[in-house]
């Protein structure tokens, strides 16, 4: 299952993440786009679209699982093999928790009325 | 380098999550977040993340053709052709994201 999420996350990271980063990190700072296209009102307009919410959740969750799996294996290659049980908990814990928080903000809170007090 | 790109993607995903959280907190929180990431040092760090993610994406497109010959055709597809198809798809998908969510180019 983790391998499947990693693999799917690789697809998402490669195909979807660069264009989102391009908008925030290149198009606006270089003056190609006006700053208000990444401002609060523009974000709110995008966020009203259910497809954007699903896109954002998939993007965050996929990138987290892909990256944290990579991080675990980088650390395993640096002689931390004995710490693997801890790495599994920390790396996949961050990915799972981050994905759940993204799911809460994008879908659960508004569509299902679920409220988590500390979020 | 390519593996660090994967970690950079996770780091940027956390930044997107933080932005989403600030958006949910309201306009002033969102604006404060954007002011924070506009700081030259933070911006430079995110540019490094961007470069690493780009390297990761391009090398992933190269590896797809090499590691797993595309089975659409009877014979395995040359990896350069598979790479070209992936890059073309990447451009189409990126254009679709720009058009659907960011109001086009």
A73:B56 CB<8 A:
no
Q: Taking the CA of residue A55 as centre, how many other CA atoms within 13 Å lie in the half-sphere pointing to its CB?
A: 20
A102:B4 CB<8 A:
no
Q: Are the CB atoms for A76 and B12 separated by under 8 Å?
A: no
CA triplet B19, B22, B23: central angle to 5 degrees?
85
Taking only the tens place, the pLDDT of each residue in A33-65 is: 888 888 999 999 999 999 999 999 999 999 999
Structure tokens at A80: 């931390």
d(CA B19, CA A108): 18
Q: How confident is the model at residue A3 (pLDDT cuts 50, 70, 90)?
A: confident
Alpha helix ranges (H) inside chain A: 2-15, 17-22, 40-47, 50-77, 84-103, 109-111
Residue spans of chain B under pLDDT 70: 66-74
Q: What is the pLDDT of residue B51?
A: 95
Contacts of A51 in chain B (CB under 8 A): 100-101
Q: What is the pLDDT of residue B24?
A: 95
- Residue B17 CA to chain centroid, in angstroms? 15
Q: List the CATH code of the domain at B2-101.
A: 1.20.1300.10
Q: What is the pLDDT of residue B69?
A: 57
Q: What is the pLDDT of residue B68?
A: 63
d(CA A25, CA A47): 20
**Class of CATH domain A2-111:** mainly alpha
A98:B50 CB<8 A:
no
pTM given for the model: 0.91
User: Does the CA dihedral A16-A17-A19-A20 come out positive or negative?
Assistant: positive
A10:B103 CB<8 A:
no
Q: What is the pLDDT of residue B54?
A: 95
Taking only the tens place, the pLDDT of each residue in B80-95 is: 888 899 899 999 999 9
pLDDT above 80: residue A109:
yes
What is the domain partition of chain B in residue ranges?
Answer: 2-101
- Residue B65 CA to chain centroid, in angstroms? 19
Gap from A39 CA to chain B (nearest CA, Å):
8
Gap from B30 CA to chain A (nearest CA, Å):
7
Taking residues A10-16, report their average pLDDT: 89
Which of B23, B50, B100 is closest, CB to CB, to A21?
Answer: B50
d(CA A21, CA A99): 19
């Amino acid at each position: 299952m983790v391998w499947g999420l990693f693999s799917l996350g690789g697809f998402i990271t490669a195909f979807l993440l660069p264009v989102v980063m391009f908008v925030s990190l290149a198009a606006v700072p270089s003056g190609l786009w006006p700053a208000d296209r990444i401002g609060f009102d523009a974000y709110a307009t995008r966020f009203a679209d259910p497809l954007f919410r699903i896109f954002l959740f998939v993007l965050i969750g996929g990138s987290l699982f892909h990256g944290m799996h990579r991080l675990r294996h980088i650390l395993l290659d640096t002689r931390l093999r004995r710490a693997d049980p801890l790495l599994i908990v920390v790396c996949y814990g961050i990915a799972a928790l981050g994905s759940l928080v993204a799911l809460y903000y994008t879908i659960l809170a508004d569509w299902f009325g679920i409220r988590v007090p500390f979020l | 380098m390519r593996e660090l790109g994967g970690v950079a993607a996770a780091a940027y995903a956390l930044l997107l999550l933080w932005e989403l959280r600030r958006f949910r907190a309201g306009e002033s929180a969102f604006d404060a977040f954007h002011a924070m990431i506009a700081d030259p040092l933070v911006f430079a760090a995110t540019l490094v993340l961007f470069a690493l993610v780009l390297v990761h994406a391009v090398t992933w497109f190269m590896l797809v053709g090499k590691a797993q010959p595309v089975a659409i055709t009877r014979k395995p597809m040359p990896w350069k052709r598979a790479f070209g198809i992936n890059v073309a798809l990447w451009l189409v998908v990126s254009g679709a994201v720009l058009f659907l969510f960011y109001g086009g180019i």
